[in-house]
Amino acid sequence: MPTHHLPATQATASQVLSRDTPPVLRIEPGDRVVVESLDASGHLERQATPGAVTPYRFPDRRGHALTGPIDVAGTVPGDVLAVRFDALEPADWGFTVAGRRDDAFARSLGLDGAEPAWLLWDLDRVAGTGTNQYGHVVRLAPFLGVVGLPPAEPGEHSTTPPRAEGGGNIDCRELTAGSTLFLPVTVPGALLHLGDGHAAQGDGEVGGTAIECGMTTTVTVDVLRDAPVPGIHAVTPTARITFGFDADLNRATAEALGAMLTWLQHLHGLERKAALALASAVVDLRVTQIANQTWGVHAVLGLDAVGTA
């Protein structure tokens, strides 16, 4: 299995999603890639104090500082890209900031007029913990917030909202090492972008950021031409996951749950209402994130949730 190395440099960086961005690497299906990425803001230096301004990869900062795109040879729309996360190694520092927005939701939390609050984290990869300036210690569970392909439409597209077509800023904390994310291919070559490392995050990413950090990610990228369910889905070491993305939480929920019902039908040969009845006993619905203009919901089915008599 060939292994490629993709460093985080100006030449390999992108902050928009576009089918017209030239690929920075071309691989064959089944290849492994070690990808370096900066934190979402693209800090080039560690913050000395919480919220300190340092040089950025993109001074104009139009979107996430991503690495890519990666061209996967021979892939075409209709294929499904399988991105397996073999290892995720966070940098030795990260940050969290909350309270930067002044909107109705923030005011409902009693944050009207408040200045942003910053946490600066020291990340200990050996111990698997992060410690902030207040002495709070949390367990690390690193993953990438952004794993995605550009929309099929021409032009430059924001990296902020997750999309049902191509993924992107999914921010699902379940996608740790050992997980595989399945993305329907939107453009020839797939043009995979990776970045937005999170050392730890709660479901919802309620403050708008996780523990944002640089990341070294090892992925194996393959291609499927048949998948058990349409749309974006994943298999983790413990569960099957389907996703929904929409500005309306009800529609996002229906999208995630509907895909999971299809998966249950495929697994157990059920008609759809029976699949819904079974889902009511064994499927968890979780709010993936509320931070990115589009609600994310994921449905979770434990690998051992349904046995046979």
Secondary structure string (H, E, C) spanning 71-117: EECCCCECEEEEEEEEEEEEEEEEEEEECCCCCHHHHHCCCCCCCCE
Q: Which amino acid is at 121?
A: W
**Cβ–Cβ under 8 Å, residues 174 and 299:** no
- The predicted pLDDT at position 110 comes to 83
Indicate if the pLDDT at residue 113 is higher than 90. Answer: no
**Cβ–Cβ under 8 Å, residues 180 and 84:** yes
How far apart, in whole angstroms, are the C-alpha atoms of residue 30 and residue 300? Answer: 27
Average pLDDT over residues 155-183: 96
- The predicted pLDDT at position 108 comes to 85
Give the up-direction half-sphere exposure of residue 133: CA atoms within 13 A in the CB hemisphere: 12
How far apart, in whole angstroms, are the C-alpha atoms of residue 223 and residue 218? Answer: 17
How far apart, in whole angstroms, are the C-alpha atoms of residue 113 and residue 105? Answer: 13
1 pLDDT band, cuts 50/70/90, is confident
- The predicted pLDDT at position 302 comes to 97
Q: Which amino acid is at 220?
A: T
Nearest Cα to 70, choosing from 143, 154, 145, 13? 13
286 pLDDT band, cuts 50/70/90, is very high
Q: Report the percentage of the chain scoring pLDDT > 70.
A: 100
Taking the whole predicted model, whether its pTM rises above 0.75 is answered as yes
Average pLDDT over residues 114-129: 94
Nearest Cα to 212, choosing from 64, 102, 55? 64
- The predicted pLDDT at position 285 comes to 98
How far apart, in whole angstroms, are the C-alpha atoms of residue 186 and residue 109? Answer: 38
Give the up-direction half-sphere exposure of residue 121: CA atoms within 13 A in the CB hemisphere: 29
**Cβ–Cβ under 8 Å, residues 66 and 146:** yes
- The predicted pLDDT at position 148 comes to 97
Burial 216-232 (b: 16+ CB within 10 A, else e): bbbbbbbbeeeeebebb
Residues 34-69: pLDDT tens digits? 999 999 999 999 999 999 999 999 988 899 999 999
Indicate if the pLDDT at residue 309 is higher than 80. Answer: no
**Cβ–Cβ under 8 Å, residues 142 and 198:** yes
How far apart, in whole angstroms, are the C-alpha atoms of residue 288 and residue 243? Answer: 9
Residues 6+ away with beta carbon under 8 Å from 61: 15, 41, 42
Q: What are the angstrom distances between the C-alpha of 129 and each of 84, 118, 120, 198?
A: 24, 18, 13, 13
- The predicted pLDDT at position 214 comes to 98
Of the listed ranges 200-204, 233-237, 289-293, the least confidently predicted one is 289-293
- The predicted pLDDT at position 109 comes to 84
293 pLDDT band, cuts 50/70/90, is confident
Nearest Cα to 169, choosing from 180, 161, 157, 179? 161
**Mean residue pLDDT across the chain:** 95
**Cβ–Cβ under 8 Å, residues 16 and 197:** no
Quote the longest CA-to-CA distance of the chain. 61
**Cβ–Cβ under 8 Å, residues 56 and 42:** yes
145 pLDDT band, cuts 50/70/90, is very high
Alpha-helical segments (H) within the chain: 104-108, 249-268, 272-282
Of the listed ranges 25-29, 42-46, 97-101, 167-171, the least confidently predicted one is 97-101
Average pLDDT over residues 284-306: 94
Helix, coil or strand: residue 105 = helix
Indicate if the pLDDT at residue 114 is higher than 80. Answer: no
